[in-house]
Amino acid sequence: MILLDQNTRGIVQGVTGRVGSVQTKWMVEYGSSLVAGVTPGKGGQTVHGLPVYDTVQETVERHGANASVIFVPAPAAKAAVQMALEVGLKLVVVITEHVPVHDSLAMKRMAQEHGAWLLGPNCPGLLTPSVGKLGIMPGNLFRPGPVGVVGRSATLTYEVAGNLSAAGLGQSTAVGVGGDMVTGSRFLDVLRLFEADPQTEAVALVGEIGGTAEEEAARFIKEMTKPVVALIAGRNAPVEKKLGHAGAIIRGGQGTPQSKVAALAAAGVAVADSPAEVARLVRERLRRD
């Protein structure tokens, strides 16, 4: 397992909000080791058994918090991340969608400066089966086992994990890095952890068209010892509208489904056509090893 294990002591920022509160209940029911919640101005309340504080600082001092999952509205997300990083939390998960790109960039750079892991924004968080979850992944789809799962799109990641579970292939940890253009962590970062994780024997990578994260991942996968199976969603999607030249120059021909499939195949990745095929290919690769 990676990032989330028995030593995780999680807090929920935005715990008193409509979504934060419901999701806190489900995280607690899944057995996640949450120690507190934070909503500035609402300190002293209790939400689903968790004490609520005004600041992240208090949760570190009183409960030894070391990870946070954030459900605050988009305009408040950057400040919430900063609050968590500045008191030393090393894992910060931002569920919030529609965060402005410039705020996401700032969060990503702040996390790098603090040597912390940032997942999201606009991500489902992560789940280590039978240990716990920080985020919104539906627990009923996951089973413990040897397959690391990492995805950009939240619900497609569930579908792939669900297909793995249905095929009898459990997961070591499932990580959603987030669907936005700029995310705190990318495929590459998470693949490094899976490669080093003794429980993980194979990785399922849930990619999609747009951006260049899959091509970037392919360069690292060449050096990996563990088998990787990938899905690239959107091969039939309408072509992206042409934007500025700068974007095209940066991508340099990357970002298309063809480019992603070619880069991954050249790195020895089995590229599946559907989530069900991901499960079949993972099973094959595990047998072979």
Partner 1 sequence: MMLLEHMGKAELAARGLPVPRGIVATSHDAAYEAAVALGGRVVVKAQIPVGGRGKAGGILRVPNPSAASMAAGSLLYKKLLGHQVRSVLVEERLNIVHELFLGLAVEPGSGRYLALFSDQGGINIEEVAAQTPARVRRLWLDPLQGLPADAARQLAAGLVEEELLPELEKILAGLYDAFRERDAIIAEINPLALLADGRLVAADCRIEVDDDALYRQPQWQTYKQSLLDERERRAQEIGVSYVALDGDVGLIASGAGLGMASLDMLRLAGLEPANFLDTGGGINRELMRRAVELTLYPGGVRGELVNLYGGINPMVEAALGIVDALRAMPRRKPLVVKLLGNRQEEAWAILEAEGVPVVKVVQTEEAAGKLAELLAGVGR
Q: Between β-strands 144-151 and 132-135, what pairing exists: parallel, antiparallel or unpaired?
A: unpaired
Give CA–CA dist 89/141, Å, rounded. Answer: 29
CB of 236 to partner 1, least distance (A): 5
Q: Residue written as tokens 């995280």?
A: 27
Longest Cα–Cα distance of the chain, Å, equals 56
Q: What's the token pair of residue 151? A: 């995805």
Give CA–CA dist 184/102, Å, rounded. Answer: 12
CB of 93 to partner 1, least distance (A): 13
Backbone angles phi, psi at 165, to 5 degrees: -60, -45
Q: What's the token pair of residue 288? A: 């072979």
Prior bond of 121 cis (ω within 30°): yes
Task: Find, among 98, 100, 147, 105, the residue nearest to 127 by Cα.
Answer: 147
CB of 149 to partner 1, least distance (A): 13
Give CA–CA dist 69/15, Å, rounded. Answer: 9
CB 67 within 8 A of CB 116: no
In the residue annotation, 245 being an active-site residue is answered as yes
CB of 163 to partner 1, least distance (A): 5
Give CA–CA dist 34/105, Å, rounded. Answer: 28
196: CB partners within 8 A, 6+ apart: none
Q: 32 vs 212, which CB is nearer to partner 1?
A: 212
CB 234 within 8 A of CB 179: no
Q: What's the token pair of residue 281? A: 């290919």
CB of 40 to partner 1, least distance (A): 20
CB of 5 to partner 1, least distance (A): 23
Q: 44 vs 249, which CB is nearer to partner 1?
A: 249
Catalytic annotation, residues: 245
